[in-house]
Structure 1
């Protein structure tokens, strides 16, 4: 099975994440999308994160009605901070029957050359790219990474919703309900998450 791995802290998961994941499941050759909940992104402050299992629960609530999308806690059991290359090696070892690809925004592609063992990732895994607002991205059309045969650009909707903004707005008592699935909003609201 061809599986697309959509990594994120999902702090919290919002409708933008679902739009991208569903688009990849419906309009690419990927058969399933696995939302990989990252316990500790090397580029993010750990203290701003909701508990790992709470974020995993929010993802599971959000994807209940999407049979092609699954949540995984695979990175919870790996050494931290998490590096994508290690996660890919672990998944390949655990599920040799599957073919794993990465899903990332166009903005992340620009910094791919800074990732640990990025050459190995590119040689062994396809990468599916969804667009981001172009003004934030310097086009590097002559870049070897941009034009690599394993890079697949998918014409997905451009979604600019930020988990950071959602957290800030909840803290400031703004209504963010349209940005979250109903069950996710209800769980966050019931537990008073992101209020301080």
Structure 2
């Protein structure tokens, strides 16, 4: 099989290995980490609540493996409330320096409490205090109210560890669709896709017209 410089197979059709798309994603993310100026793990996450309107925002990809893509947030936030109503999401990572992007979509699930605890403990102390102080996505009448809440939580936890709030957790999107897009001259871009019927199913690999 011929492998171009971006790692995409020259001929992409048929059944793919279980880890194939995640291995390729890991290669692309590693290359982006060496070339992007800021946040190579930044990704847009789209969710849909009961009103049926899609909602999208930027978050940070904090972990990925063959199970899917993980981000963390407040369950009372807009995305947390929408996921409570519809545990499905889609995402995209775009790396301008490499002229590449990866799209994915699939059902979402909570990560384990141990996973959430471990990542929360790795955050800066002020970020952990902020997770307690912020009523994420709620109305804020004045910036000073947030600053006062941060000060109050800092005093509350003075001299001791800041535990993870119950409302702060992680979500794993388990893709059933993964698309690798690579820029080509004259807008004849490369689009290689991996699809499966469920997160437990086998991958089928194919290619799309640009």
TM-score range, shorter chain: under 0.3
Give TM-score, length-normalised by structure 2.
Answer: 0.24
Greater C-alpha radius of gyration:
2
**Structure with a larger share of its residues in strand:** 2
